[in-house]
């Protein structure tokens, strides 16, 4: 245990009194598993009443800053994880407007994601050609780096249900690769590296790290009941090939993930170091950990053949467990002890610190990365000595964002607040200077915030303009729409000393996490090149039906407002592959293609080619029509599919 | 043909000159099928430059009216069709915020729509239990009426791809029934009736009318190539049972649908009276039609057994073709001739008129309903005599909304404008009073508008406050996000003489149509009753695994932050039905349930019960976890599914 004093806040006594009281009650309640429910209805109100009286001022006056005039463009992009929808949402900020949903893990009937052969190949199919999975649970989206800032190449997002990672191309804003991680379950935290740990010329992302939250038998092929035989792994995926490079067997589990700016360290917070298999057992330890990985050493070990494989997987797994890593000078991992049940680990934009939020502890723990490297060099007696602050922030601290001016912003789930605090002041306070006022401001949010992120927060270019807060419950903030409430993504102005609440944005549950970056960091492309598609039908004259026994290929092109063939004939039982190239090259002149009763609908963007394969099992006349508005004569844009009995 | 003069506008010559010029060029281009493509890039700019110079004034100053302060509630609900996503979107207005997406025709991985047995039953399955369809194309959403205003019971939406109609319960905001229409393809227009045609006590919706756009062989079981054997039908669905009551065989096709306030008439506009099977053939007639249905007579004919059935369908089909309905006194239908290729038919809130927009003709046609009834009574020599105005509005008129003060608002697709015009003035102008100035105002919109609707527009309570315009192309109005652009739903203040553009809202393609109504017209329920679900597990003590050979039932309950069983065991090959009841009764305390690698994820709202059925075909340990944030210990909310090999 760290010294008790560090968990004492340096705020004025009155506030501390209220929060200490709630603190005790809520934490007791939590272990009984009922507090947050009761808390949901009433906590925010008393917090506003007795907390620092900033809410009223915050609410007034600031609203217009976010509201753009018609036609005015946003200055930032936001990439929001789409939660169970399995997609990534693209927002414009500060307006909060949703500009696009990029389907990744789940089918999307607009795009034809999961319908076209091209998208099915990305998503993964079973032996019979049907989709392997149609559900997902995306939590965290992060983008590729160069020189410590986003470089507009890629973004990645996790699927917790089926332990998959998807990559988004940020030129076309499409998902181009999905990899299912072996040997793990509950893949949660994800973060790209920012540089190579060894080669300074590689000052950009080449790896993506993935933490697995659930522990399972290795391999998971029999229903072993004995939890002591379960393990959790930390995974490295190649940013380009999307192959799994290596995994690390660990003690405890992985929650969130962070990476250092120099590429040498990655870390995950661990909320279940006990490796309990029942809810009650996950709460038994005094402290949990922030687990550091020495990337260069792990890759040396893999190169030296010091690994195992499990089951059918060929992925090398190195041993990162405590017992095998006692000598810091050879250790692959370092377990830094942090208060019980932490949630969230975030890298400060000054490149110096990782900050772990306490969740069940009202604290944030500041870990100095130079000291972690010292530990791996044998210069620090224990990894815990890398902790430079452990300070009280409020109830239920979860995630931390930064303004690039030395301040951190941490969500307080139970207090329904965001607290702004100064990291260097917190370090001074922790070092013994009890006059150091590290808490700068608090603002009530509506309600129960999870993730938050500031503009450019997790880059060297953190600019301290906007803070978005993902509130898990909206309660009374929007018109009622039945049992399923929207969540509330709130936008806060953090450019001044005091935080100012700008706007409430309802969102479909539940986005979890997001990043916000300047609009000039991406260079979107809006028209495809014909050559990008091997199957492209490059001229309407190539249109036609070719037959090879039962196998039939139909080639079509689209040019508003007509398809290249007015009709085509098939025979019942044909195995048909239909290829459609959109020869319209005007930006945004997208066409759709639906076949009634055949469960086909997809779109082709300008100069895009897509294909579908189906069995013509229903005789009759089927009007294939353009489903994406294209032209005044869009309704007439059809072709007749005649299936002879 | 109506007299030529009626297509002459009464605007000042300069504007008319520009529009006449574009008119000619664009219509020529249209028949060649290329104009709108070229038009997309440049049309809006010249329109703004040479049209009435109202845009600049409109754009400035008005913006703040729509922007609510944080926590402020919207005053209107909007129900937006979700396009290819197959859902219905619930918006708050004037903020334009999306509060909910209600899955209907397509799976939704958040809710578990298409995953749970309950939702699969609504959606429809094949013999093997898999979903019959996973794509849809929703266009129009309309709600149930009482006394000429919305009564908050139901909304309905069409699926054009598979000719299905879905019903939404507006208490829980869920889809509860879906019906597939027999004998038709391309079901497009949809509108509920507003009263019974015979019984004045039934002053509320009991029927929903559905128009089929594509003509097909009857029955559609062989690939008949001969288009003269194809037919289109108009369908009546029972609002309560959702059974198909009857259908009408017609000449030509059905596009949009409208109903009269007295329940006596329904109508559909017809853009392909030629019944062409190729794009070029659909353009050959001089005029098309607005086809009226005499509901009472149709139901008498059905009662008298004057119908046929087709194929496997038991639905009575009466004959509404021209040839069989020459005597107005017994006719089931009346074909009112309107200019070529119309789009959109809308009922005015004064209950007197249906207005057909011209699309390829720059006109709107006003049809007086009392005169249509006169025709059916033998008092009018021809149905065309029911036309009381046919006036020029601009290029590409599509749909019309109303302010309840005698003004109509029509989208001009090619002009990228909304034109405000006075209906009674148009009637006077048409009657010969060339001094009647029927065009009141024009506003440029961004860009190429399709549907529009005003607050309460299609009710007797039209209040003339807000107008939403579904612009098919957003072009430069939002940050670029790759090839697939958002569409632009614009909000316009119509409370004054001049229209004022308030805001641009990007939306995922393509919503098509929507309705806007006052928030007090619905009474949402936010917590279910246990009794609503026959399978409810009413007490955690009922939890357990019961086995009947290979058939296994797992009963579970949820109460934050735990499921009632910490683990449950299955054997490989078991056919499992898992039933989960959420015993949390606090509003919005929703839980999720995911089974890794088993493609299961769904949510249970407060006191809701849902079930899934699957085969336990993969041995191992599977951490079923709560996917919907519920509590500070949400991450720990899991149960272990152990499948023994």
Give the pLDDT of residue B147.
98
Inter-chain Cβ pairs, chain A and chain B, closer than 8 A: 450
- In percent, the amount of chain A with pLDDT more than 90 equals 84
Task: Give the gap in angstroms from C-alpha B67 to the nearest C-alpha of chain A.
Answer: 7
Give the pLDDT of residue A143.
98
Q: Is A472 annotated as a binding residue?
A: yes
Average pLDDT, chain B: 90
Q: What chain B residue is nearest to A67 in terms of C-alpha separation?
A: B67
State yes or no: pLDDT of A18 exceeds 80.
Answer: no
Q: What are the residues whose beta carbons fall under 8 Å from the beta carbon of A167, sequence distance 6 or more? A: A154, A155, A156, A175, A176, A177, A178, A239, A242
Q: Is the pTM of this model over 0.95?
A: no
**Least confident interval from A88-92, B22-26, B413-417, B420-424:** B22-26
Pairwise CA distance, residues B64 & A578, whole Å: 49
**Least confident interval from A248-252, A626-630, B8-12, B527-531:** B8-12
State yes or no: pLDDT of B198 exceeds 90.
Answer: yes
- In Å, how far from its chain's centre is CA A127? 30
Confidence of residue B9 (pLDDT cuts 50, 70, 90): very low
Residues B93, B98, B99, B102, CA torsion sign: positive
A-interface mutation test, from B517, B567, B596, most A Cβ less than 10 A away: B596
As to burial, measured by CB atoms within 10 angstroms (0-12 exposed, 13-18 middle, 19+ buried), residue A403 is: buried
Q: Is A621 on the interface with B (CB under 8 A)?
A: yes
Average pLDDT over residues A453-474: 97
B-interface mutation test, from A284, A362, A480, most B Cβ less than 10 A away: A480
| B489 close to B432: Cβ distance less than 8 angstroms | no
SS (H, E, C) A498-516: CCEEEEEEEECCCCCCEEE
Model pLDDT for residues B384-427, shown as the tens digit of each residue: 999 999 999 999 999 999 999 999 999 999 999 999 999 999 99
Q: Is B148 on the interface with A (CB under 8 A)?
A: no
Model pLDDT for residues B39-69, shown as the tens digit of each residue: 333 333 333 333 333 333 333 334 346 778 8
Q: Which of residues 512-551 of A touch B (CB under 8 A)?
A: 519, 524-528
Task: Give the gap in angstroms from C-alpha A388 to the nearest C-alpha of chain B.
Answer: 26
Pairwise CA distance, residues B265 & B329, whole Å: 15
Closest among A632, A536, A520 to A585, alpha carbons compared: A536
Question: Which member of A110, A474, A596 has the closest CB to residue B162?
Answer: A596
- Tracing tokens 């006109």 back to the chain, one arrives at B363
Model pLDDT for residues A216-231, shown as the tens digit of each residue: 999 999 889 999 999 9
Residues B266, B270, B274, B275, CA torsion sign: negative
Closest among A380, A349, A344, A382 to A365, alpha carbons compared: A344
Model pLDDT for residues B522-532, shown as the tens digit of each residue: 999 999 999 99
Pairwise CA distance, residues B416 & B474, whole Å: 11
B8 or A418, greater pLDDT: A418
- Tracing tokens 């306070």 back to the chain, one arrives at A429
Give the pLDDT of residue A101.
97
Q: Do B483 and A606 touch (CB under 8 A)?
A: yes
Average pLDDT over residues A466-470: 98
| B513 close to B502: Cβ distance less than 8 angstroms | no
Q: Do A70 and B501 touch (CB under 8 A)?
A: yes
Q: Do B509 and A186 touch (CB under 8 A)?
A: no
Task: Give the gap in angstroms from C-alpha B468 to the nearest C-alpha of chain A.
Answer: 14
Neighbour-count burial for A43-63, b at 16+ CB within 10 Å, e otherwise:
bbeebbeebbebbeebbeebb
Confidence of residue B276 (pLDDT cuts 50, 70, 90): confident
Model pLDDT for residues B344-392, shown as the tens digit of each residue: 999 999 999 999 999 999 999 999 999 999 999 999 999 999 999 999 9
Q: What chain A residue is nearest to B56 in terms of C-alpha separation?
A: A70
Q: What is the ipTM of this complex?
A: 0.91
Q: Is A84 annotated as a binding residue?
A: no
Tokens of B643: 């499948």
Average pLDDT, chain A: 90
Q: What chain B residue is nearest to A256 in terms of C-alpha separation?
A: B635
Model pLDDT for residues B220-230, shown as the tens digit of each residue: 998 899 999 99
Confidence of residue B291 (pLDDT cuts 50, 70, 90): very high
| A398 close to A416: Cβ distance less than 8 angstroms | no
Task: Give the gap in angstroms from C-alpha A278 to the nearest C-alpha of chain B.
Answer: 6
Give the pLDDT of residue A65.
63
State yes or no: pLDDT of A11 exceeds 90.
Answer: no
Average pLDDT over residues B480-492: 96
- In Å, how far from its chain's centre is CA B63? 28
State yes or no: pLDDT of B635 exceeds 90.
Answer: no
Give the pLDDT of residue A275.
79
Give the pLDDT of residue B272.
83
B5 or A83, greater pLDDT: A83
Average pLDDT over residues B242-262: 97
Model pLDDT for residues A33-56, shown as the tens digit of each residue: 323 333 333 333 333 323 333 333
Closest among B283, B639, B595 to A279, alpha carbons compared: B639
Q: Is A343 annotated as a binding residue?
A: yes
Q: Which of residues 330-369 of A touch B (CB under 8 A)?
A: 343, 359-360
- Tracing tokens 């060297």 back to the chain, one arrives at A460
Average pLDDT over residues B523-547: 97
Q: Do B223 and A527 touch (CB under 8 A)?
A: no
Confidence of residue A17 (pLDDT cuts 50, 70, 90): very low
Q: Which of residues 364-393 of A touch B (CB under 8 A)?
A: none
Give the pLDDT of residue B546.
98
- Tracing tokens 């260069």 back to the chain, one arrives at A296
**Least confident interval from A43-52, A171-180, A582-591:** A43-52
State yes or no: pLDDT of B77 exceeds 60.
Answer: yes
Overall residue count recorded for chain B in this entry: 645
| A215 close to A231: Cβ distance less than 8 angstroms | yes
- Which residues on B lie below 8 Å from A106 (Cβ)? 109
Give the pLDDT of residue B11.
52
Model pLDDT for residues B581-602, shown as the tens digit of each residue: 999 999 999 999 999 999 999 9
Model pLDDT for residues B84-116, shown as the tens digit of each residue: 999 999 999 999 999 999 999 999 999 999 999
Instruction: Say which DSSP state B395 is in.
Output: S
Model pLDDT for residues A595-645, shown as the tens digit of each residue: 999 999 999 999 999 999 999 999 999 999 999 999 888 988 999 999 999
| A419 close to A399: Cβ distance less than 8 angstroms | no
B-interface mutation test, from A478, A568, A569, A592, most B Cβ less than 10 A away: A478
Give the pLDDT of residue B29.
37
- Which residues on A lie below 8 Å from B493 (Cβ)? none
SS (H, E, C) A434-446: CCCCCEEEEEECC
Instruction: Say which DSSP state A26 is in.
Output: H
Question: Which member of A99, A503, A504 has the closest CB to residue B478?
Answer: A99
A-interface mutation test, from B482, B499, B616, B629, most A Cβ less than 10 A away: B482
- In percent, the amount of chain A with pLDDT more than 70 equals 90
- Which residues on B lie below 8 Å from A171 (Cβ)? 482
The secondary element (H helix, E strand) that includes residue A581 is: strand A575-582
Q: Is A614 on the interface with B (CB under 8 A)?
A: no
State yes or no: pLDDT of B286 exceeds 90.
Answer: no
Q: Is B43 on the interface with A (CB under 8 A)?
A: no
Q: Do B110 and A413 touch (CB under 8 A)?
A: no
Average pLDDT over residues A181-208: 98
Model pLDDT for residues A285-322, shown as the tens digit of each residue: 788 999 999 999 999 999 999 999 999 999 999 999 99
**Least confident interval from A9-13, A539-543, B621-625:** A9-13
């Amino acid at each position: 245990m760290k010294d008790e004093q560090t968990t004492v806040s340096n705020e004025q006594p009155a506030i501390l009194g209220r929060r200490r009281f709630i603190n005790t009650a809520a934490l007791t309640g939590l272990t009984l598993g009922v507090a947050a429910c009761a808390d949901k209805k009433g906590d925010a109100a008393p917090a506003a009443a007795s907390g620092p009286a900033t809410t009223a001022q915050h609410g007034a006056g600031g609203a217009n800053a976010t509201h753009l005039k018609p036609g005015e463009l946003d200055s930032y992009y936001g990439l929001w994880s789409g939660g169970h929808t399995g997609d990534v949402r693209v927002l414009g900020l500060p307006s909060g407007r949703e500009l696009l949903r990029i389907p990744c893990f789940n089918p999307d009937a607009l795009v034809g994601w999961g319908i076209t052969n091209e998208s099915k190949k990305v998503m993964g199919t079973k032996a019979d050609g049907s989709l392997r999975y149609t559900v997902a649970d995306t939590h965290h989206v992060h983008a590729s780096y160069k020189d410590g800032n986003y470089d507009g190449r890629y973004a990645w997002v996790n699927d917790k249900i089926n332990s998959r990672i998807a990559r988004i191309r940020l030129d076309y804003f499409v998902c181009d690769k999905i990899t299912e991680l072996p040997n793990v379950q509950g893949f949660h935290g994800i973060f790209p590296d920012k540089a190579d740990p060894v080669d300074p010329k590689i000052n950009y992302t080449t790896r993506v790290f993935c933490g697995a939250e659930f522990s399972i038998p290795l391999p998971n092929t029999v229903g072993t009941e004995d939890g002591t035989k379960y393990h959790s792994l930390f995974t490295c995926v190649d940013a380009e090939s999307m192959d799994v490079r290596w995994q690390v067997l660990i003690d405890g589990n992985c929650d969130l993930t962070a990476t250092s700016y120099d590429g040498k360290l990655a870390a995950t917070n661990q909320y279940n170091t006990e490796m309990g298999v029942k809810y009650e057992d996950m709460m038994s330890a005094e402290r949990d950990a922030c687990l550091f990985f020495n990337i260069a050493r792990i890759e040396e070990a893999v190169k030296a053949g010091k690994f195992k494989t499990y089951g059918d997987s060929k992925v090398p797994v190195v041993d990162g467990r405590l017992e095998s890593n006692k000598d810091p000078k050879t250790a692959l991992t370092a377990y830094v002890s942090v208060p019980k049940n932490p949630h969230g680990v975030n890298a400060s934009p000054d490149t110096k610190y990782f900050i772990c939020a306490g969740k069940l502890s009202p604290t944030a723990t500041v870990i100095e990365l130079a000291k972690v490297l010292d530990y791996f060099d044998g210069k620090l007696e224990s990894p815990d000595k890398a902790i430079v602050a452990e300070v009280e922030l409020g109830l239920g601290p979860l995630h931390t964002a930064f303004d690039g001016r030395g301040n951190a912003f941490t969500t307080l789930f139970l207090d329904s607040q965001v607290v702004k605090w100064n990291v260097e002041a917190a370090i001074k306070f922790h070092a013994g200077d009890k006059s150091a006022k590290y808490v700068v401001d608090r603002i009530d949010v509506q309600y129960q915030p999870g993730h938050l992120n500031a503009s450019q927060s997790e880059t060297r270019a953190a600019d301290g303009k906007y803070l978005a807060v993902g509130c898990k419950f909206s309660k009374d903030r929007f018109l009622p729409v039945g049992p399923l409430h929207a969540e509330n993504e709130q936008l806060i102005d953090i450019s001044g000393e005091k935080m100012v609440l700008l706007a409430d944005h309802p969102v479909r549950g539940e986005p979890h996490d997001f990043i916000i970056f300047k609009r000039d960091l991406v260079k979107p492309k809006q028209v495809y090149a014909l050559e990008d598609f091997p199957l492209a039908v490059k001229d309407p004259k190539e249109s036609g039906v070719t037959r090879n026994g039962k196998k039939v290929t139909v080639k079509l092109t689209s040019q508003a407002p007509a398809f290249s063939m007015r009709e085509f004939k098939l025979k019942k039982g044909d195995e048909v592959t239909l290829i459609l190239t959109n020869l319209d090259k005007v930006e945004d002149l997208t066409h759709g293609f639906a076949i009634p009763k055949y469960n086909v609908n997809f779109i082709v963007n300008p100069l895009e080619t897509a294909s579908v394969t189906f069995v013509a099992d229903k005789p009759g006349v089927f009007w294939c029509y353009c489903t994406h508005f294209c032209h005044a004569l869009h309704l007439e844009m059809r072709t007749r599919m005649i299936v002879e009995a």
